[in-house]
Amino acid sequence: MRALVLTSEFLPVRGGVGNYVLQVSKRMPSDIEIHLIAPNAVGAQTPDSRNELRALPDNVHVHLLGSSKNSFLDKLAFQIECLRVVPKMVKDFGIDIIHSQSEMPDLLISPEKVGAPIVTTIHTTVEGHIRAIRATGSSFGELNSSEKITMLASPFLVWAENRYYRGRSYFLTVSNWARRQMSEEKAIDSRRIRVVYIGVDRDLFNPSKRITAPEHFSELADVKAPKVLFFSRLATRKGLGLLMKAIPRITQKVDAHFVLAGSGRSSLFDVPHKDCTLLGYVHPNEVPYLYASSDVFILPSLYENFPASILEAMATQCAVISSDVGGVAEMVVNGRNGITIPPGDVDSIVDSVTRLVGDERFRDELGKSGRETVEERFRWEETALQTADYYREVCKDYASKG
């Protein structure tokens, strides 16, 4: 079987979509030949990215198109490029199935005209992002550039998204919550959506990294207080503004140090100068050591589907605190392997962080249970196998309708 994978995010890996495509592709069964189309993004030709490409198995072939800085216009340009090259690649390589992502690189492509079924993995939706941005109560000036574009273009983006999902028949998603949400929000028959959980690299994200973590983050090595990590895009919908409101109240009660990491403009948020280290963008090679440098991981987001960062933190044996949004409850059981809190609730952030910082024994118990959870349930190898099985089912169903 030959599959054509379309993604507007790939190398260098900067988010969940790019990581998903990379991890699933490299673990696909050898009898499935993958042709992967992605933008030639800034950073895709660095030594690290070239090493990632060289490490891919022989059944994975990567085709980088054009150039991209991951802007809104770049993604539109990539959709146009896909319209140009996909039909030819389907014919030239004898493609049996196309696997796209919910950023809609195949928006302009008709499954009927291209002559192959299209499977779309639903990671997030535009409508979900818009609701989360509005829920923050932030003014337009307080939003980052990506959020501003989303809000300005929201009528067109929602229209395009709805049109896209009406024209597709086969879907994957990474949580049962997303399957229910898509059934209600987009009127998709839930029987057409297969849930396949994402995984985590348990060797890469491992508590053993704590031994050498101080060599990678020397600025944190001498911090004696328990360290609370926020690692995500510095965006309002990720709940960073809520955390900033909570920090002064927390540090009045317990000795804690907060580590803020991720791309985006920190100037949009009132980051305390005391009890806080602002790291900004962290290279993917350093991320495992970032988790290992921390005691607590917090994601007070207002919208998520199934955030990989939680699984990575759990695998590294960090005690996790997360808003109970999206499919988080499918990985975090409150009080057993982490703590879940209501979204948008600053009091709950204060209470949960204060409790974990002040109770080392409970913190360690949650961390160990989190590690056990990912070992038992979240393996990229299983994600790839289930995805391959779905490919075969879709091809069989498509042929029967032919």
User: Per-residue DSSP letters for 128-149?
Assistant: HHHHHHHHTT--GGGS-HHHHH
Percent pLDDT > 70 in the chain is 100
7-50 pLDDT tens trace: 999 988 888 899 999 999 999 999 999 999 999 987 777 888 88
Do 192 and 267 have their domain in common? no
Please indicate, yes or no, whether residues 303 and 232 belong to a single structural domain of this protein.
yes
**299 and 267, same structural domain?**
yes
Asked if residue 236 and residue 130 are part of one domain, the reply reads no
Structural domain total, the chain: 2
Nearest 5°: the CA angle 114, 189, 301 is 95
Q: pTM of the entire structure? A: 0.93
Is the pLDDT score of 70 beyond 80?
A: no
In the numeric block, the tokens 């709940």 are attached to: 239
Same domain, 146 and 68: yes
d(CA 160, CA 337): 39
Higher pLDDT, 44 or 74: 74
Residue carrying the six token digits 């600053």: 346
pLDDT band at 309 (very low <50, low <70, confident <90, very high): very high
Residue 14: its pLDDT value, please? 80
pLDDT tens digits along 375-402: 999 999 999 999 999 999 999 999 998 6
Q: Do residues 290 and 364 share a domain?
A: yes
What is the per-residue DSSP string for 92-131? Answer: HHT--EEEEETT-TTTT--HHHHTS-EEEEE---HHHHHH
Do residues 193 and 224 both lie within one domain?
Answer: no
Parent domain of 156: 2-199+379-401
Residues 19/308, Cβ–Cβ less than 8 Å: yes
Residues 231 and 172 in one domain: no
| Cβ–Cβ under 8 Å, residues 56 and 36 | no
Count of other CB atoms within 10 angstroms of residue 273? 6
Residue 98 confidence (pLDDT):
98
DSSP 8-state code for residue 334: B
Q: Are residues 178 and 215 in the same domain?
A: no
- φ/ψ of residue 299, rounded to 5: -130, 90
My answer on whether 258 and 306 are in the same domain is: yes
| Helices (runs of H) and strands (runs of E) counted in the chain | 16, 13
* Statement to judge: residues 218 and 359 lie in one domain: yes
Retrieve residue 1's tokens. 């079987």
Do residues 289 and 207 lie in contact, with contact meaning Cβ atoms separated by under 8 Å? no
* Domain match, 116 and 212 both: no
- CATH number, domain with residue 214: 3.40.50.2000
On whether the CB atoms of residues 196 and 384 are closer than 8 A, the answer is no
**Contact call for residues 257 and 276 (beta carbons, < 8 A):** yes
Q: Are 228 and 257 in contact (CB under 8 A)?
A: yes
Give the contacts of 71 (CB within 8 A, at least 6 positions apart).
none
